[in-house]
Amino acid sequence: MKKIIVLSLLLLISCNAIPNEMTGGSLPPIGKTFELSEKCPHLCWMGINPGTTTMEQAKLIISESNQINKQYTQVSEDHISIVWNIGKLKSYSSNVGIQLENGLVKSIDIGVGYYTINDFIKFLGKPDEICATKITAADAIYYTYSVYYISSKIEIDVGIGSQKGPYPSDIADVIWLNSEFYPASHPEWGITQPWLGYGHLNDYLPGVEILPTYVMPTP
């Protein structure tokens, strides 16, 4: 279920990615959006620390933040859905899901279609694993992939990649904090392999014919 939801998000966000130069530089640096420290081994977002922050603490942070569009906040016993207004001008938004378990924040998924995979690698270091998948649609071929940091339990999903990728400029559509690597338990999405660096799509998709990806026409 997780990957089906993510794929829909990936394709949607990939078509609406926000290059920082288009926002007048108003988007926050990645180190301002996330905190990486001993206190936040899985990354903290807005002070919410997966595995540590309680449900009540998360609700309080959300209710007091001027970056959250309260109109769209939905809270249940096991999930909080919110819309996060991004950057100084708050002109752009992102969907965020907070998974709850036993009264604690278990994990967080954040649409981050304004950062590249290279932004995250520069911030977090090289990932440990990657899983790539070829998706054939009626009018296009997509190469999607996810990378994973084992010790910090961080997964980053890329929606549409090139037949010569992964590229540093690929959009990092969704980041999962304190999450198990989904492809590791769902092998139908591909083989989980060590990260070899950029390129190497043939190595990441052994035995799969690599065809040119669909490129959206420029308006």
Q: How many CA atoms lie within 13 A of 172 on its CB side?
A: 21
Given a cut of 80, whether residue 79 has pLDDT beyond it is yes
Please tell me the predicted confidence (pLDDT) of residue 6.
46
Question: Does the pLDDT value for residue 4 go beyond 70?
Answer: no
- pLDDT, one tens digit per residue, over 100-125 is 999 999 999 999 888 999 999 999 99
d(CA 82, CA 95): 6
CA distance 13 to 60: 28
Distance between the two ends of the chain, CA-based, in angstroms? 34
Torsion of CA 157, 159, 163, 167, to 10 degrees: -50
- Retrieve residue 206's tokens: 């052994």
Residue type present at position 109: D
pTM of the model: 0.83
Phi, psi of 187 (to 5 degrees): -65, -15
